[in-house]
């Protein structure tokens, strides 16, 4: 799959098949995702693989669409607000890499932002100073939602003198 095709056909999938994702495959996507850009090689991502007990406590309203794997992606603490922003930016690049790698392999991801609530941080044991970028269901899609049209980029683009 070409990069442009991967980028434009990746969807936030809501429902997954029960088929497992092998840990080796998952680890391979995470390993490759870590080639994301990151300033001063801080590599500010950390991943929690959510087991059944923790998943039940999180009690996501749709149980991540039945995804066989659930991970949380964290951004590590920083000394300054500027550095913290840079960490979050780098982890966002990591996440996009991960989502595209899964998509290329015929799998898919479902992004949930609810992991950042104080209750869910506590359930996952997220230490102070870490940002929860997202909690992701990962699996093979049972159905792929239709693409949501994007605003033509010309409307987002300004030329500076």
Ligand X SMILES: Cc1cc2nc3c(=O)[nH]c(=O)nc-3n(C[C@H](O)[C@H](O)[C@H](O)COP(=O)(O)O)c2cc1C
Binding site for ligand X (CB under 6 A): 11-12, 111-114, 134, 145, 148
Q: Which of 147, 50, 33 is nearest to 100 (CA)?
A: 33
Name which of 27 and 145 has its Cβ closer to ligand X.
145
Sign of CA dihedral 104, 29, 70, 116: negative
Q: Minimum Å distance from CB 161 to ligand X?
A: 32
- 112, 60 Cβ separation under 8 angstroms: yes
Q: Minimum Å distance from CB 116 to ligand X?
A: 10
**Cα–Cα separations (whole angstroms), residue 146 to 6, 9, 26, 152, 156:** 15, 9, 25, 18, 23
What is the Rg, in whole angstroms, of the alpha carbon atoms belonging to the chain?
17
Name which of 11 and 121 has its Cβ closer to ligand X.
11
Supply 148's token pair. Answer: 């949501």
Name which of 41 and 149 has its Cβ closer to ligand X.
149
Query: Tokens 């994301």 identify what position?
Result: 36
Name which of 27 and 150 has its Cβ closer to ligand X.
150
Name which of 41 and 146 has its Cβ closer to ligand X.
146
Q: Minimum Å distance from CB 101 to ligand X?
A: 15
Q: Minimum Å distance from CB 90 to ligand X?
A: 14
Q: Minimum Å distance from CB 66 to ligand X?
A: 14
Q: What distance lies between CA 57 and its chain's CA centroid?
A: 20
């Amino acid at each position: 799959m070409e990069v442009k095709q991967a980028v434009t056909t990746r969807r936030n999938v809501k429902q997954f098949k029960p088929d497992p994702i092998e840990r080796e495959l998952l680890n391979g996507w995470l390993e490759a995702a870590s080639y994301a850009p990151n300033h001063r090689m801080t590599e500010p991502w950390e991943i929690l693989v959510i087991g059944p007990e923790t998943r039940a406590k999180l009690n996501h309203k749709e149980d991540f669409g039945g995804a066989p794997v659930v991970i949380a992606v964290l951004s590590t603490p920083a000394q300054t607000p500027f550095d913290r922003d840079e960490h979050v930016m780098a982890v966002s690049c990591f996440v996009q890499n991960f989502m595209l790698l899964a998509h290329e392999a015929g799998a898919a991801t479902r992004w949930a932002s609810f992991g950042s609530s104080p209750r869910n941080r506590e359930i996952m044991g997220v230490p102070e100073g870490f940002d929860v970028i997202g909690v992701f269901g990962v699996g093979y899609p049972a159905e792929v939602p239709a693409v949501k049209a994007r605003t033509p980029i010309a409307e987002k683009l300004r030329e500076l003198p």
